[in-house]
Structure 1
Amino acid sequence: MERAIARSIYADVLDDMQDIGYLNQALADYYTNKMAGLGWDVSTDVFAGSWPRGEGERARKERKESVTLAMKVTPSNVAKWLNAFVEGDTAFSFTGSRLSEYFDPGW
């Protein structure tokens, strides 16, 4: 069940990131706090490897640029053990890219 929750958070963040063309820090903080509320270890940057992360680097649709989201969280102890048994890793990891939907209004 926790893996499904993590997958849905990943999908939500990637959808939002695709719409605005980058990983907004406020968005990252919101979801990090949400995951911390679930009791997951978010003491490291759970979105390390995601790009772009700044508004100035924003991926644009007219340039056919992509956004990449990488998310890795350590769930509760029970989910860690189950995931280690099934996946061979104690953390939930998701990575993917999509074409940006952000269209620069000044283009």
Structure 2
Amino acid sequence: MLKAKVFLICLSVMLLLFSAIAAFEMYAMERAIARSIYADVFDDMQDIGYLEPLLADYYLGKMQDLGWDVASDVFAGSNPRAEGLRARKERNEMVTLSLEVRPSRLSQWMHLFAKGETSFRFTGSRPSEYFDPGW
């Protein structure tokens, strides 16, 4: 009888430990995917001097395919967002990208435990690399 209790306790601890490791790996993977999307959009935005709507829609589709909530404007706070307001390198203008996504429920819980919030947020500014052809 004692061996059965010890076996069940050990089995429970092993299941709990493996579940915690799997949950953390899932959280780390989703955060890395969100960070890579942020880096890709930021590189493209820096090259063209603004956040192109087709580029934003493409990455919104990718995030939606991952099951993330993209109903709100995930690029709110990004600047410039229109071609006419494009940042130019010769003027030493900056592009700013702000990305906020709500990942899967498991990652939200893990992020709440680790950082105190449920959304992944990334924000940064870089100098524009866009040269006006007429310059």
TMscore range, shorter length: over 0.9
Partner of 1:48: 76
- Unpaired segments of 5 or more residues in structure 1? none
Partner of 2:37: 9
Shift of 1:99: 0.2
Shift of 1:65: 0.3
Query: Whose RCO is larger (CA < 8 A, sep 6+)?
Result: 1
Query: Does 2:88 align with 1:88?
Result: no
Rg larger in structure? 2
Partner of 1:69: 97
Measured in 2, the distance between the counterparts of 1:50 and 1:3 equals 20
| TM-align CA RMSD | 0.3
Compare the two structures and name the one with the higher helix fraction.
2
Measured in 2, the distance between the counterparts of 1:47 and 1:15 equals 15
- Unpaired segments of 5 or more residues in structure 2? 1-28
TM-score (norm 1): 0.99
Identity of aligned residues (%): 70
Count of equivalent residues = 107
Q: What's the secondary structure of 1:42's corresponding residue? A: coil
Kindly report structure 1 stretches of 4+ aligned residues shifted beyond 6 Å: none
